[in-house]
Amino acid sequence: MDASFEKRLLERIKPLYQKGRDGDWDPVLRMVKLCKYLLEHENGNEDIVLLTAYLHDIGWTAVDFSDFNKATPKVKSNSSSLTLHMEQGAVIAGKILSDFEVDPDKIKEIQSIIKVHDLPETVFKMNDISATLVVEADRLDRYGKTGLARFKTMFGADKLKGVYWEEARQLRLDGLKDWFRTKTAIKLSQKLATEMGLFD
Ligand SMILES: [Fe+2]
C-alpha cells in the first residue's frame, strides 16, 4: 500500500475509532502489523487485506455496545451489537473508501469481508485467502501479552480471574482450533498462546 495513501487513511479513521470503544485504535494498528506479517508468508491481496484490517471495526463507532460489554465471553458472539457493528462497519467503510476513490470492485470485496469478519466459520467458507488472513490477524490479537492487556482495558482487571476469565480462556483454547487456517497463523497462535500462559 502506498505510504502517502496509508497516512491519509489513518488521519481520516483515527479520530473516528477514538470515539468508539475504549482501546479500539491500538488493536487496529496491531492487526495491520499482523496482516503485514502474514502477507510476507501467505498469499492474499495486500490492498484488500490491509484496507479491511484498517476499517473492520469502524462500525463500533456507530452502535451502542453496552450489551456486548455486559455479556460474558461465551455469549458475546450472540449480542446484537456484534452483528450491527459488522453491518454498520461495511456501510461506513464503503463511504470512506469511495471518498478515497478506491476501485468499486475492491470496495465491494472489502465490505463483504467486514460484514462477516467476526464469524470465522462464515469467512473461511468464502474461500478467499485475503478474508482468511483478516480473520486470523484479528483473532491473533487476543493472544500473547498484548492480548491479555487488551482484555484488561476492555473489560477490567477483575475479569482476568474467576469464572469470567475461565470462559475467556476456554474460548481462546478452542479458538486455536477454530480461528486459524494458514500455516503461518497456526504457528504464531501457538507461540502467543504459550506466551500468555494459556496452557499453564
Ligand atoms: Fe469486530
Of 64, 52, 158, 67, the closest CA to residue 97 belongs to 52
pLDDT at site 200: 87
60 part of a folded domain: yes
Span from the CA of 85 to the centroid of ligand 1 (angstroms): 7
Span from the CA of 104 to the centroid of ligand 1 (angstroms): 23
Tell me which residue has cell 494459556. 198
pLDDT at site 51: 98
Of 91, 65, 63, the closest CA to residue 155 belongs to 65
Give yes or no for a contact between 124 and 178, defined as CB atoms under 8 angstroms apart: no
Give yes or no for a contact between 49 and 39, defined as CB atoms under 8 angstroms apart: yes
pLDDT at site 41: 98
Span from the CA of 40 to the centroid of ligand 1 (angstroms): 24
pLDDT at site 159: 87
Q: Whole-prediction pTM value? A: 0.92
Other Cβ atoms closer than 10 A to 162: 9
CATH of residue 87: 1.10.3210.50
Q: Domain range spanning residue 174?
A: 3-195
Extract the C-alpha cell encoding 140: 491473533
Spell out the per-residue pLDDT of the chain, length 200, in tens: 899 999 999 999 999 998 887 778 999 999 999 999 999 999 999 999 999 999 999 999 888 777 777 777 776 777 788 999 999 999 999 999 999 999 999 999 999 999 999 999 999 999 999 999 999 999 999 999 999 988 888 888 898 888 989 999 999 999 999 999 999 999 999 999 999 999 98
Span from the CA of 117 to the centroid of ligand 1 (angstroms): 6
pLDDT at site 75: 67
Element (H, E) at 87: helix 80-99
Span from the CA of 118 to the centroid of ligand 1 (angstroms): 5
Span from the CA of 37 to the centroid of ligand 1 (angstroms): 20
200 part of a folded domain: no
146 part of a folded domain: yes
25 part of a folded domain: yes
Q: How many domains does the chain have?
A: 1
Span from the CA of 115 to the centroid of ligand 1 (angstroms): 9
